[in-house]
Amino acid sequence: MTDVASLRPLFAVLVSAVAIPIILSLRSRPNVREGVTLAVAATKFGLVASMVPGVLAGTTYVTRIGEFGNGISLALRADPLGILFALLASLLWIVTSFYSIGYMRGLSEHAQTRYFASFAASLACAVGVAFGANLVTLFVFYELLTVSTYPLVTHDETDEARAAGRKYLTYTFGGGVAVLGGTALVYVLTGTTAFTPGGIEALATADPTLARAAFALLAGGFGVKAALMPVHSWLPDAMVAPTPVSGLLHAVAVVKSGIFGIARVVLDVFGTETMAELGVALPLAAVAAITLLTASVIALRQDNLKRRLAYSTISQLSYIVLGLALLEGDALIGGLLHIPAHAFMKLTLFFCAGAIHVETHTDDISDMAGIGDRMPLTMAAFAVAAAGMAGIPLVAGFVSKWYIVIGALQGGGLVFAAALLISGVLNIAYFWPVVYQAYFESPEGHDEKPLLSAPLGGRSGPRADGGGETEAYGDASAAETHDDAHGAETHEDGHDVESRDDGHRGHHGGPPASGWDVRGWRGAESTWFMLGPILTAASLSVLLGVVPRTAVFLRIVETVVGSLPGVVV
């Protein structure tokens, strides 16, 4: 790898940061505000994409911000692993920006200027995380990402949203303290915090007990945002945020920053060889395996669609951690490739959930029988992404999971391979009922799914969805109340907001008395500001599943793993 001094990594971070005051100044001009958001998102992606050919050719772009003495330095470094995360986040910001316009206007949401400004700040921090050249720089942007996403989590300003925000801050700042402690310990042991492919050499000869402690602090701290159990519960509660936030920040930027931190620790701080010698890989793999199975089982119990997707996210993130912890070449490739694969598929699923909410005010799966007539394109995209999540061929999830399973078998990890296969079956179990009832059932002929809502062990047994109790942040009545609260508000430019007419004025949740409208396959089900991003994300899932190298992400991943000493690809 050849280091080249360049301002492009810095510009890629700053372009969306500079846009924040511009977006805020355009409060009374929403069309211009959103045009600026789209232009900045495209510029950010262009800056990141311009570095991809050089990085694949062996060039690393470095921006040195400052030296502060005593081993503290801030620097940005666009290497293959950083490009993987930055390219993904900047690409999907464009898609999510279009979707956000349709979603926020469709619900006549309040504080839209703050929303778009916070999104810009979050993407600046996410790319800063991607390009952090050392643990100190990564930590700074990692914490700033928490601060910048807090207004998005609490956007609704309800008691539930504020409670979710407090929980989010408590968990993630706690994880940040652990990361800082691990960073300090690594510096004490090695005299550096700089990322080095294959790991910092001095850690191999450091005191094993202290080295294990440093690994535990770093993996545990980053594991909070990666939603590893038992520090995962902030993520389902954060689903109270608007769906675009759930999609990009809780399927891409926030949770992936935790995953990315673990990847940096495994590949560029400790390295696979030192991790094997210290014996810290097996406990990490065990935590990941337990998380992916347990979260899949919990997902079966969720009737609220966004909460089911949230627990699915917890499970799928652990696929990535498991791939990294197995330390085998194919498993590493699969784990890293699952970062973009999961992002494309889960973004599609969240976008579909948001479109269903905007158009029909329906949030619970038990109310979605026959909804394929009302929203055929949306549910088709949902089916494609769900198939990929379950590892069905021709969608991105199959390719990444195939690599992980092969790596597990090559490394003798039969238990972990079995856990992956069982989780795949559970994915089918909690996604198939959604797709099946959407297309093959009618509201009046809806067949209860035993794992979803039918009593376990007979009519007197407990309900599998939690006894019919109100979901904390997914209750349809709460959604109805919130929609009513904001339905008569005014836009920030002072113009009155008319209530949205979806063909059933006054209808909130589930099929109307007259049954679902039949909208056909030509896009009448929603606006193209929402349908376009849904179909784009679904298409990216298929593209990565059919031609992964052409989609460039597999080439980047192979470059990352190929540069690691002692790893056979």
**CA separation (Å) from 170 to 123, 145, 175, 311, 328?**
22, 14, 9, 20, 35
CA angle 57, 58, 63 (to 5 degrees): 120
260 residue type, one letter = F
- The pLDDT value recorded for residue 517 is 87
pLDDT at 289: 96
First CA to last CA distance, the chain: 18
Task: Using DSSP, state whether 490 is helix, strand or coil.
Answer: strand
In the prediction, which pLDDT does 26 show?
A: 93
Residue 568 has what pLDDT? 67
Residue 420: half-sphere exposure toward Cβ, Cα within 13 Å? 30
Closest CA to 285 of 297, 272, 296, 298: 272
Q: Work out whether strand 59-67 and strand 73-78 pair parallel, antiparallel, or are unpaired.
A: antiparallel
Q: What is the pTM of this model?
A: 0.89
Per-residue buried b or exposed e for 108-146, using 16+ beta carbons within 10 Å of the residue's own CB: bbbbbbbbbbbbbbbbbbbbbbbbbbbbbbbbebbbbbb
Pull the structure tokens for residue 453: 């809502």
- Helix-helix angle 159-190:135-153, to 10 degrees: 180
What does the DSSP assignment read for 403-444? Answer: HHHHHHHHTT-HHHHHHHHHHHHHHHHHHHHHHHHHHH--ST
8 A C-beta contact, residue 522 and residue 377: no
d(CA 30, CA 161): 25
pLDDT by 10s per residue, the chain, length 569: 799 999 999 999 999 999 999 999 999 999 999 999 999 999 999 999 999 999 999 999 999 998 887 778 899 999 999 999 999 999 999 999 999 999 998 888 888 999 999 999 999 999 999 999 999 999 999 999 999 999 999 998 899 999 999 999 999 999 999 999 999 999 999 999 999 999 999 999 999 999 999 999 999 999 999 999 999 999 998 888 888 888 877 778 889 999 999 999 999 999 999 999 999 999 999 999 999 999 999 999 999 999 999 999 999 999 999 999 999 999 999 999 999 999 999 999 999 999 999 999 999 999 999 999 999 999 999 999 999 999 999 999 999 999 999 999 998 899 999 999 999 999 999 999 999 999 988 887 666 554 544 433 333 333 333 333 433 333 433 434 444 434 434 444 433 333 333 333 344 678 888 888 888 898 889 999 999 999 999 999 999 999 998 889 999 999 999 988 877 66
Distance between CA atoms of 503 and 82, rounded to whole angstroms?
46
pLDDT digits (tens, 9 = 90+) for 355-392: 999 999 999 999 999 999 999 999 999 999 999 999 99
Residue boundaries of the structural domains of the chain: 301-451+498-569
Tell me how many degrees the CA angle 390-392-394 measures, rounded to the nearest 5: 135
CA angle 225, 231, 237 (to 5 degrees): 75
Residue 508 has a pLDDT of: 61
Ranges assigned E (strand) in 179-264? none
- Location of structure tokens 């500079």: 18
- φ, ψ of residue 77 to 5 degrees: the values are -145, 115
> How distant is the alpha carbon of residue 338 from its chain centre?
11
Instruction: Answer whether 122's CB lies under 8 Å from 249's CB.
Output: yes
Which two structure tokens, joined as six digits, stand for 493?
């430019």
Residues with Cβ < 8 Å from 237, sequence gap 6 or more?
Answer: 163, 164, 167, 168, 472, 473
